[in-house]
Amino acid sequence: MAQEGQRQVLSAVDPAALALGLAPGQPLAAARAQVPDLKIASRQCDAEAHRLARIEAWCQRYTPWVAADPLGDGSSGSLAFGGGAGLYLDVTGCAHLCGGEAALMADMRRRLGALGHAARIGLAATPGAAWALARFATGPERPVLALESGAGQEAEAAALDPLPPAALRLNPEALRLLANLGVTRIADLRRLPAASLTARVGSETLYRLRQALGSQDEPLSPKAPESLPWVRQAFAEPLLTPEAVAAVLDRLLTALSVELERRGLGARRLEVIGHRVDGSQVRLAVGTSRPSRDPAHLSRLAAPQRDLLDPGYGLEVLTLSAPFCEPLQASQVTASGMQDTSSARDSTAAVADLAALVDRLQSRLGPGSVARPRARARHRPERAVAHATPFAQERRRRPALAGQAEPESWPDEQPPRPLLLLPRPEPISVMALLPDHPPRRVEWRRERLEIARAEGPERLESAWWDPAEAQEPARDYYRLETGDGRRLWVYRAAQDWFLQGMFA
Amino acid sequence: MEQERQGEQEERQRAGDLRAWLARQTASGGGVSTRPLGVAPLDQALAGGGLASVGLHCLGAAPGSSPAVPLGLALAFAKYLRAETRGAAAGSRPLIWVAREDFPYAPGLKAFGLAARDLLLVRAEREQGLLWALEECLRSGQAPVVLGRLQGLERVAGRRLQLAAERGKSACLLVETRPSGAPLPALTRWQVAAAPSGIPSVIDDDRWASHRPAPPPGRPRKYPDWVAGRGSGPVRGNALRASHPDNKLPGAPRWRLTLQQSRGGRPAEALVEWDDATCAFSLVTQPGYGELVPDAQACG
């Protein structure tokens, strides 16, 4: 649903709604009258554009020549264009890589379907004709349409002839005029004399017609592919010893850091691929917790895993890429670069960065082994803590609830919390003097504990919005102290008692 | 001639630098400072009159005591030592906690004057990786205090940690879950047991039958909605019917600390109370019910 001037209109409908007779462009009020329990969502143009850019990048798997369709990018006029957002792919010379044009289109449709997108694909000799075929000649029952390559201009014209003039990417004024003239098909349009057509409906119509038929050139401007920082070294003689691999790796790291510095980036992940003589590959991947382009630091990170680059019969080519980078200011590299020129380990203690320590720990203990606890807005104690990355990221995660960001810390007014939480609450049997009184005696792990002091209850409700938790009963928490000073955190859920944690 | 004079000058300057360095080293007692705990029997028994801010300290729970207690003691000590290094602009550096499992529950850190962001958790799968991580953290000198929790420390590993701590000028507080009785190359070794708090037992009181007294003026009892589903008042009839107006029960934690081993000092014992408002220990002289206080004279 989108706002168009004063009224709200449907901008897209799903197949079920289409079957009920709704169509894009229909006013919302009319649609509601037709289908009272219509589910609507407002249109998110930003998200659409973002997703289209992602698909555009994805389509570069088929051809390097991919361009977004400027008419289908969500402008208000796009409703008249027989579909939503679109992409142009120039597959000249690329189709045989997928086993021909038909196989390419089938593959593309299948993969886009797996990504959750319904696609209609038209293939023709010109962008204009392909656009017309995709948007006006295809349909739900026949989503892919291709003209035989080399069929010639006549065959193309024959395919376009039965389509409406809107298939020529004309502006709404020209379309209205043509409709008034009784021109309902492109065949009619082609029959009109060119000179009078230009005089009456403007030059654009003729221009678009020629583009579709191929007598007017239409260049596509593809998106420049964003290449990863990448360096490669090939050897005349294959590398055979681990020492040689290590030396080359250090050289590649230095080259990569120059490249990263030029772009103002720091690597968050590095990937080394070694191509062996026998055609097999060996890989090594290293992650950092903060962007870095310091070759000495990265080399230290890679060192424990260097055995993975087993030369085997010999390594012919080594490539080093940084698949995941983040911006990094130039000043940092000099500071840390100076630090590592003195290779003595003594000096590292004084100046080494905390990030470098975290990286060393993670490269040995595994990714995710270093974390910082962070508050989450949850009632349930076991869900109130998240483990965040050691360094605060600028981009905030999606909040758990719409419009509610995650809190900085737990509220100050919160009653005391235990220092140790059991991995899962353990059932205990409890004796109390009266039903709603705190426990007088607790039996846990076959040990009988006499309670001397108690505080509570503190009621923690279940999160009703969370289906996993909504069915659970609310919990009444008590803080207990046994006669010998052990402090327990127990709760009652409905009639059952559990021990969840221990205070210091 | 000119060169000779220059060389001589350089040498003299270098000697001066070395002398200044030596003076600095000796003035600070070999670079190791101590932090008094504020509990006289313990401070007297510790070398240097307090807990050393550089070196290895081992903590263990007394048999039959709660496993959370040594964790609490480690955090309390860490709070002390961190306050010590704050002068060196180190307050913003995190504490590092290395363990295989059973990390402290972050909301509970508040009782020790620490926030969640003060702590960096390092999880190791195996004991060997754990010792390596401890050593690495200590040697880097990035954290004023490195805390760890492991089953039992061996002599060689303890020596390595002590050396790493000295090199990185940081303190290592190790909680042993199954301590061996053998002496360790640590500066101190503590055993801690929970003790009953000083608030009299109220469970048999009839206050459970009465409603909670109104909160004192100026301190409205308000919880954000997500705390407990108790936004504006009692959820159920008895939800806030409780025992103590300050919501502080069961009292401040009390621990019986036994200093089993102290390099350059002597063993000692004390019953202390941890105050979470001031983040300080105090010696308990008024025992709880049925509680015995060690004789200060007998233990030193």
Q: What is the pLDDT of residues B194-218, one digit of tens each?
A: 988 877 655 544 444 443 444 444 4
Rounded Cα distance, A138 and A135, in Å: 6
A457 closest CB neighbour out of B109, B169, B239: B239
Nearest CA in chain B to A356: B140
> Are residues B224 and A501, on separate chains, in Cβ contact within 8 Å?
no
Rounded Cα distance, A167 and A128, in Å: 8
Report how many Cβ contacts below 8 Å link chain A to chain B: 229
Residues (pLDDT < 50) of chain A are 73-80, 331-352, 394-403
User: CA–CA distance from B39 to each of B9, B48, B195, B265 (Å)?
Assistant: 52, 14, 17, 15
Query: How far B212 CA lies from chain A's nearest CA (Å)?
Result: 11
Q: Which two tokens stand for residue B138?
A: 């200590």
Q: In sequence order, what are the beta bridge partners of B52?
A: B34
Q: Looking at A216-220, B114-118, B157-161, B284-288, which range is the least confident one?
A: B284-288
3 state SS for A180-194: HHCCCCHHHHHHCCH
B272 — contact with chain A (CB < 8 Å)?
A: no
Q: Supply the pLDDT for residue A5.
A: 61
User: For residue A286, with 0-12 CB atoms within 10 Å meaning exposed, 13-18 middle and 19 or more buried, which class applies?
Assistant: buried
Q: Supply the pLDDT for residue A499.
A: 95
pLDDT exceeds 60 at position B87: no
Question: Which of B206, B143, B142, B154 lies closest to B178, judged by CA?
Answer: B154
Nearest CA in chain A to B140: A349
Confidence band, pLDDT 50/70/90 cuts, at residue B235: very low
* Residues in CB range of A475: below 8 A, 6 or more apart: A459, A460, A462, A491, A492, A493
Instruction: Specify the DSSP element, H or E, that contains B262.
Output: strand B254-262
Nearest CA in chain A to B68: A504
Mean pLDDT of chain B: 76
Q: DSSP letter for A500, please.
A: E
pLDDT exceeds 70 at position B33: yes
Provide, as residue numbers in chain A, all residues whose Cβ is less than 8 Å from the Cβ of B111: 416-417, 419, 503-504
Instruction: Specify the DSSP element, H or E, that contains A89.
Output: strand A87-89
Q: Supply the pLDDT for residue A225.
A: 63
Nearest CA in chain A to B98: A370
Q: Supply the pLDDT for residue A6.
A: 67
Model pLDDT for residues B35-47, shown as the tens digit of each residue: 889 899 999 999 8
Provide, as residue numbers in chain B, all residues whose Cβ is less than 8 Å from the Cβ of A406: none
Which amino acid is it at A428? I
Q: B263 or A200, which is more confident?
A: B263
Model pLDDT for residues B264-274, shown as the tens digit of each residue: 889 999 999 99
Q: Supply the pLDDT for residue B233.
A: 34
Confidence band, pLDDT 50/70/90 cuts, at residue B189: very high
Q: In sequence order, what are the beta bridge partners of B148?
A: B98, B174
> Are residues B68 and A419, on separate chains, in Cβ contact within 8 Å?
yes
> Are residues A504 and B75, on separate chains, in Cβ contact within 8 Å?
yes
Rounded Cα distance, A402 and A400, in Å: 7
Q: Look at the block and give the residue holding tokens 């059991």.
A: A422
Provide, as residue numbers in chain A, all residues whose Cβ is less than 8 Å from the Cβ of B194: 484-487
Question: Which of A43, A20, A15, A44 lies closest to A32, judged by CA?
Answer: A20
Q: Supply the pLDDT for residue B92.
A: 61
pLDDT exceeds 90 at position B99: yes
Rounded Cα distance, A503 and B137, in Å: 28
Which amino acid is it at A35? V
> Are residues B224 and A411, on separate chains, in Cβ contact within 8 Å?
yes
Query: How far B70 CA lies from chain A's nearest CA (Å)?
Result: 7
Q: Which two tokens stand for residue A395?
A: 């981009």
Q: Which two tokens stand for residue A353?
A: 């960065």
Q: Which two tokens stand for residue A82?
A: 């027989």
Query: How far B265 CA lies from chain A's nearest CA (Å)?
Result: 27
Q: Which residues of B151-173 are buried (b: 16+ CB within 10 A; e: fewer)?
A: ebbeeebbebbbbbbbbbbbbbb
Q: Mean pLDDT across the stretch B56-79?
A: 92
- To test the contact with chain B by mutation, choose from A348, A365, A482 the residue with the greatest count of B C-beta atoms within 10 A, namely A365
Query: How far B172 CA lies from chain A's nearest CA (Å)?
Result: 16
Confidence band, pLDDT 50/70/90 cuts, at residue B123: very high
Which amino acid is it at A246? A
Q: Supply the pLDDT for residue B214.
A: 41
Q: Which two tokens stand for residue A269?
A: 């992940």
B73 — contact with chain A (CB < 8 Å)?
A: yes
Q: Mean pLDDT across the stretch B216-223?
A: 42
- To test the contact with chain A by mutation, choose from B130, B137, B226, B244 the residue with the greatest count of A C-beta atoms within 10 A, namely B226
> Are residues A414 and B122, on separate chains, in Cβ contact within 8 Å?
no
Provide, as residue numbers in chain A, all residues whose Cβ is less than 8 Å from the Cβ of B250: 452-455, 479-481, 487
- To test the contact with chain A by mutation, choose from B140, B212, B271 the residue with the greatest count of A C-beta atoms within 10 A, namely B140
B104 — contact with chain A (CB < 8 Å)?
A: yes
CA atoms within 13 A on the CB side of B39: 29
Return residues 112-171 of B near A (CB < 8 Å).
Answer: 115-117, 119-125, 129, 132-133, 136-137, 139-142, 167-169
> Is there a contact between A225 and A64 (Cβ–Cβ < 8 Å)?
yes
